[in-house]
Amino acid sequence: MTAGTMRIIGLLVLILAGCVATCGAATIKEWPEVIQEGDSIYVEISDLGAGQVFTTRIDNAVIDLDGRQTFEFRQNNFTMPFTLRGGGIKVEVSRAKWATLNISYPDGSTSVTRADPPGSRIVIQKNTTIPKGTYGYIAVGGEAEDGEREVTISLELNGTTDTAAARALMDFTISGIPEGSIPIRAITDAQECLQTTVWVVRPISTPITSSSGGRSSSHAAPTVEESETPTPTNAQGDNPTDAQGDLPIVVWSTDRQMFIVFPPGVTVTDASGERIDPASEIILQPLSGDDIPGFFPEGMEVYKQNVYRCIPQDVRISTPITATFPLTEDDWDAVTTKGLVMEYDDEFDGWKELQVESDPATRSVRARVDQIGTIGLFLPEVSPEVSPEPEVPQVPPLVVPAVILLFIILAVLYLLLTRKR
């Protein structure tokens, strides 16, 4: 066997090894997509090898302080299906005076680590083995900086696996975020295997007559047109599969930036035609970046990431509903003079304009929609101001040739003088 043949065989072996490594990478999935506070979150890990570096991370979850100064986010009854060595638990907190990491280990022992650095971003790194078993809790708490309405936390577990796992299930419940989103990531050997978001929703929606949420505490309570205004009793009938009762129902987006109003008597069905209860089964999910479908009308752009998708998709309604965007005082003038509310049309892969009404009393804009899909608030694009180019003095056309001629004359004179010497 020649040396060339040996080199070719060696190269093929390396390529095959690379293919096996890629095909044998761990697969990770999470469910469910939507929970209520206290529900279980499951993360399934398949084909994880021994000696792999594994990281799971709750990434920049936002905690609404709701008028409080202190906060606490907890993973309760956290089941760790395998042991991680040589790593630890890392916490990052933004906009807090101080923070703590509290852990109740599988053996019943507990630990508390506190940090209060001078900056507004706190990092707690606890280097430890993360043993297999069920943790009573892994909690992040602390005190927000003065005047803050929310804090942001990240919680990461990382280390090297000591054994292989053909199939492993990690599960836990959460508390401290009654409504919002929890971004979750999982990484093995520097390869991202999972990047998803779990949406946390409240058990029921707030009736239309309740105090308002949204962008600013200065908003007045949202109102319904006179024909829709009921006497506040119950938000829906006893049977959720019946048409809605005598009260309109409000469903807020998960970021509390917009809401839709279901008028009394509306029937809501899913894609299969089965009736559903909008108060508990419909979620308005904010979209951004590549998640926003279709092409925007020329010269228009999304206003402050105000695009929302209805979950579940393909929901049908028996009568039109109202989508409302509460505005801050700063937003009011721009949106009411130039803003558009548009809905995405799946059939034409484009956005179409809806008729907009503005309500100065509640400082909001609203539009009626015939179906629940994807809806957004748009404004004309703002072109960046271009500074005028400085004026360059114009050189008369005969100046340049004259300068060149003068230079030639001087050069000739210099040569003549040097020759005479």
251-292 pLDDT per residue, tens: 888 888 888 888 888 889 988 888 988 888 888 888 888 888
pTM listed for this prediction: 0.47
For residue 141, name the pLDDT band (cuts at 50, 70, 90): very high
At position 130, the amino acid (one-letter code) is I
Same domain? 97 vs 153: yes
Same domain? 150 vs 31: yes
Q: 372: closest CA among 326, 323, 339, 324?
A: 323
Give the span between the Cα atoms of 371 and 64, in whole angstroms: 31
pLDDT value at residue 391: 58
Q: What percent of the chain has pLDDT over 70?
A: 76
Count CA atoms within 13 Å of residue 299 on its CB side. Answer: 4
Examine residue 310 and state whether it is found in any structural domain, yes or no.
Answer: yes
Same domain? 238 vs 333: yes
pLDDT value at residue 265: 83
Phi-psi region of 176 (alpha: psi -120 to 50; beta: other; left: phi over 0): left
> Is it the case that residue 365 has pLDDT exceeding 80?
yes
Residue 209 backbone phi and psi in degrees, to 5: -85, 0
pLDDT value at residue 17: 37
Examine residue 333 and state whether it is found in any structural domain, yes or no.
Answer: yes
pLDDT value at residue 185: 94
Q: 284: closest CA among 305, 312, 243?
A: 312
For residue 104, name the pLDDT band (cuts at 50, 70, 90): very high
Same domain? 94 vs 176: yes
Examine residue 82 and state whether it is found in any structural domain, yes or no.
Answer: yes
Phi-psi region of 145 (alpha: psi -120 to 50; beta: other; left: phi over 0): beta
The winner for highest mean pLDDT among 4-8, 229-233, 403-407 is 403-407
Same domain? 260 vs 297: yes
Boundary residue ending a domain (380, 395, 410)? 380
Same domain? 128 vs 251: no
At position 328, the amino acid (one-letter code) is T
For residue 20, name the pLDDT band (cuts at 50, 70, 90): very low
CATH code for the domain of 343: 2.60.220
pLDDT digits (tens, 9 = 90+) for 285-339: 888 888 888 877 777 788 877 889 888 888 888 888 888 888 877 788 778 777 7
Examine residue 132 and state whether it is found in any structural domain, yes or no.
Answer: yes
Give the span between the Cα atoms of 21 and 166, in whole angstroms: 15
CATH code for the domain of 62: 2.60.40
Give the residue numbers spanning the domain of 292.
226-380
**Beta-carbon contacts of residue 367 (< 8 Å; ≥ 6 apart):** 322, 323, 341, 354, 355, 356, 357, 375
Surface-to-core class of residue 364, CB atoms within 10 Å of its CB (0-12 exposed, 13-18 middle, 19+ buried) = buried
Residue 184 backbone phi and psi in degrees, to 5: -125, 135
Boundary residue ending a domain (167, 201, 235)? 201
Examine residue 46 and state whether it is found in any structural domain, yes or no.
Answer: yes
At position 16, the amino acid (one-letter code) is L
Same domain? 162 vs 276: no
Same domain? 29 vs 151: yes
**Beta-carbon contacts of residue 141 (< 8 Å; ≥ 6 apart):** 70, 71, 72, 73, 99, 100, 102
Same domain? 184 vs 230: no
> Is it the case that residue 142 has pLDDT exceeding 90?
yes
For residue 390, name the pLDDT band (cuts at 50, 70, 90): low
Examine residue 396 and state whether it is found in any structural domain, yes or no.
Answer: no
Same domain? 268 vs 187: no
Cβ 66 vs Cβ 148: under 8 Å: no
Examine residue 279 and state whether it is found in any structural domain, yes or no.
Answer: yes
Residue 416 backbone phi and psi in degrees, to 5: -65, -45
Give the span between the Cα atoms of 75 and 155, in whole angstroms: 10
Give the span between the Cα atoms of 42 and 47, in whole angstroms: 17
User: What is the helix, strand, coil percentage profile of the chain, to 5?
Assistant: 15, 45, 40
Same domain? 142 vs 242: no
Count CA atoms within 13 Å of residue 254 on its CB side. Answer: 30
Residue the block writes with tokens 């905690």: 63
What's the structural domain count of the chain?
A: 2
The encoded tokens of residue 48 equal: 């994880």
Q: Which helix (H) or strand (E) holds 18?
A: helix 3-23
Examine residue 271 and state whether it is found in any structural domain, yes or no.
Answer: yes
> Is it the case that residue 155 has pLDDT exceeding 60?
yes
What size, in residues, is the chain? 421
Count CA atoms within 13 Å of residue 367 on its CB side. Answer: 21
Boundary residue ending a domain (148, 168, 201)? 201
Same domain? 103 vs 235: no
